[in-house]
Structure 1
Amino acid sequence: MIVLHAAFPIDPDKREEALELAEDLVEKSNQEPGMIEYRATTDIGDENVIRFFEQYEDAEAFESHTQTAHFENFEEQLPDLLAGEPEVRQFEVGEATELEL
């Protein structure tokens, strides 16, 4: 399984535009083959940071995602929305278990 966590600091003046793009990206990404889960949220400590949490069955599913029209559209518009450097981390996970709280 491939897991990505990304944080994008967004220009406050472009926040609504960024949220609309993120909403479209999430909706369409969750319909892709090989996608386990694709979520976006705003940071509780800074509403101008959008965080993505992505889970793919494998590297092929991730690669396929990066070639979709909705991803390319988001990627193309992202530089105009940013207010700083994004942080993106990729994890290769062999096993994941659900914890009971």
Structure 2
Amino acid sequence: MLTVTAKVKLQSGKAEEFIEAVREMQTKVMQDPGAVLYTLQRSTNDPDEFLFYEQYEDEEAFAYHLSTDHLKALSERIDPLMVAPGEFGNWVPVL
């Protein structure tokens, strides 16, 4: 199992547009082979800060996700809404 996180900070006033774009993406990602979970969390301290929390069966499934047209389309749509590039992390279970 591979967990992937991405923390993003949006420009003020762009949250609803961002959420709608990710909502549309979620349906597509969950149809990808090996996709287990794809959620978006909002910070309780900053309404313009979000965390993608994703899980894939393995590295191959995540690599597939990275190659999809729907990920490219999402990036084109949300990158202009962000203050800076996201902070990414890949995680594997220990216990």
* Shorter-chain TM-score range: 0.7 to 0.9
User: Could you say what secondary structure the match of 1:54 adopts?
Assistant: strand
Is the 1:24–1:70 contact (alpha carbons within 8 Å) kept by the matching residues of 2? no
Q: Summarize the alignment of residues 79-90 of structure 1 with structure 2, pairs less than 5 Å apart.
A: 79-90=79-90
Is the 2:21–2:78 contact (alpha carbons within 8 Å) kept by the matching residues of 1? no
Task: Give structure 1 stretches of 5+ with no counterpart.
Answer: 96-101
Aligned residues: 95
Higher-Rg structure is 1
Give me the identity figure in percent.
28
Deviations 1:3-55 (A, max 9, x none): 11111101123222111111111121112110111111211111111211011
User: Could you say what secondary structure the match of 1:12 adopts?
Assistant: coil
Task: Give structure 2 stretches of 5+ with no counterpart.
Answer: none
**How far, CA to CA, are the matches of 1:4 and 1:61 in structure 2?**
12
1:94 shift after superposition: 5.9
TM-score normalized by structure 1? 0.83
RMSD: 1.6
